[in-house]
A and B are shown apart, each in its own frame.
Chain A
Amino acid sequence: MTVEEKDRAAAIFKPETGRIVAARMLTETEKFFRVVLDHGGPLGHKPGQFVEVSIFGIGEAPISICSSPTQEDSFEMCVRNVGSVTNAMHQMGAGAEIGLRGPYGNGFDMEAMKGRDVLFVAGGLGMAPARGVIKYVLDKRHDFNIVTILYGAKNPSELLFKEDLEEWQARPDCDFHVTVDRPDDSWKGNTGVITTLFRNISNIDARNAWAVVVGPPVMYKYVILEALSIGIPESRILCSLERRMKCGVGKCGHCQISNVYVCKEGPVFTYSQIKRLREGI
């Protein structure tokens, strides 16, 4: 154990500090943050993990990491203004200091996906955790086979990471499709719920493919149904679940579903695990 690891083990509630080096609004309610840890090292996360952001006096909130570990000097978060901690973050800009614990959770098993087709299905704010995995896959593009990205939002103004979307659209080595439920006058693209994008998927070897599904709770059932119906096995459909997490280390009990803690054994579960959890989706 390094000294740092020992410190971490000595007090599970002790946050380290990090500095916001870039912050900008992505939509009316989502703000993007890039953070550098004060100790100077990388966060050392896996795609799909989260951190507990600490604003002293206000509290902590679990926030998923939206950058890839291939970006080592900093990490990124996309934060929706929905509670006291996230509201406080929205008042912060570059230069502000925040507390951080983590990374927590299992994250996605990127090794297992190597050499396979990967299908991403992201709905709404689900693009935040999904982006970290997508970026990882695209940064190590040779390690993976066909990459397909499906993204749905309620309306065009809620689409996150527009620059990334443009890049993915332009890349010949990834198949990107986006849809909105409620288009505005300027929208020229697909319209409809995210499951309507499944007909655009071409050429993937479903039996050997992995699906990465992240979105609001209502989305899972419908998307999993589509993924199963194109032939992706239950054990290779990965979902990231949202739950209340106060401690992040499998003690406080808030995120428990059956005999697992989402903060520890999750938030990433295969559909074969989720169906046994019963309250999962």
Chain B
Amino acid sequence: MKPKVAFFSFTSCEGCQLMFLNLEDELLDLLGLVEIVNFREAMKEVLADEYDIAFVEGSITTHSDIEEVEDIRKRTKILIAFGACATIGGINAIKNFQPLDDVRKYVYDRDWDKIDTVPTMSVDQVVDVDCYIHGCPVDKKEILDVVTSVILGKTPRVPDYPVCVECKLAENVCVFDKGLVCLGPVTRAGCSAICPTFGNKCLGCRGIISDPNVNAEKDLLAERGLSIDDILKEFRMFDGLSEVSK
């Protein structure tokens, strides 16, 4: 029997689900491997409530999110944190550096006290996660790799080295050599250095590697004229939950 797959979305732009649907050339093949039973972005029906694989997109930002993701966990064999919001908290974690009530007032104005919110959490701060697909948005190739890996019973390969490796493989001109700053030296690779390849800096959307040389990165940014505040802003854009942002 084909594994049952479901998609769930918490606080996010839902762009990562779109990336899945954008797998135009491979989608038919993938649908030959799995049965999608719950995918609000793509279908109306809900065909099952027990899942072999659940893609969980978005960060956890309300009490009901917590309950819901705990419930999904109970009904799921392999839970995949899908996209930066889910894997590292992502942009949503910016609010964690401001008083929560200020954030609520700013966003919801008059009825602010009627809307529930908690500090942003990545999915693995609430439930066990079996597998990560990093990135904002996720990379199509990595979706394929993870799905086929799960089908074949292989642990998907999530790099734990800096973006620089892939950026050099792509023979890019170093972002620092262009007078910009870049989080590539401490950010997890796996994106084929897509941002530097297209002329941008790395914003750290795939999270910080497990053994970053944070002091070297901070020194490097300071050398380029960034203040402590500027440096923290760089890190907090995507990596607010990580140690480096503290």
Seen from chain A, the residues whose Cβ lies within 8 Å of a Cβ on chain B are: 57-59, 83-84, 87-88, 91
Contact = CB atoms under 8 A, between A and B. Distances in A.
Interface stretch (B35-43, B114-122, B147-155): B147-155
Interface in B151-184: 152-155
Contacts of B154: 57-59, 84, 87-88
B109 to A, nearest CB: 51
Chain B binding surface SS class: loop
Given A57-B154, A58-B152, 16 more contacts: A57-B148, A57-B152, A58-B153, A58-B154, A59-B154, A83-B155, A84-B153, A84-B154, A84-B155, A87-B153, A87-B154, A87-B155, A88-B152, A88-B153, A88-B154, A91-B153
B236 to A, nearest CB: 35
Contacts of B148: 57
A155 to B, nearest CB: 27
A57 B154 CA distance: 9
Contacts of A83: 155
Interface in B101-117: none
Q: Which 4 A-B pairs have the closest CB atoms?
A: A84-B154, A58-B154, A84-B155, A57-B152
A113 B155 CA distance: 43
Contacts of B153: 58, 84, 87-88, 91
B68 to A, nearest CB: 32
A58 B148 CA distance: 10
A57 to B, nearest CB: 5
A88 B153 CA distance: 7
Contacts of A87: 153-155
A87 B152 CA distance: 11
Contacts of A59: 154
A83 B153 CA distance: 11
A59 B156 CA distance: 12
A246 to B, nearest CB: 13
Nearest to A59: B154
Residue of B148, B152, B154, B155 ringed by the most chain A CB atoms within 10 A: B154
8 contacts: A58-B153, A58-B154, A84-B154, A84-B155, A87-B153, A87-B155, A88-B153, A91-B153
A82 to B, nearest CB: 11
Residue of A83, A84, A88 ringed by the most chain B CB atoms within 10 A: A84
Nearest to B153: A88
Nearest to B151: A57
Contacts of B155: 83-84, 87
Contacts of A57: 148, 152, 154
Contacts of A88: 152-154
Nearest to B155: A84
Nearest to A56: B152
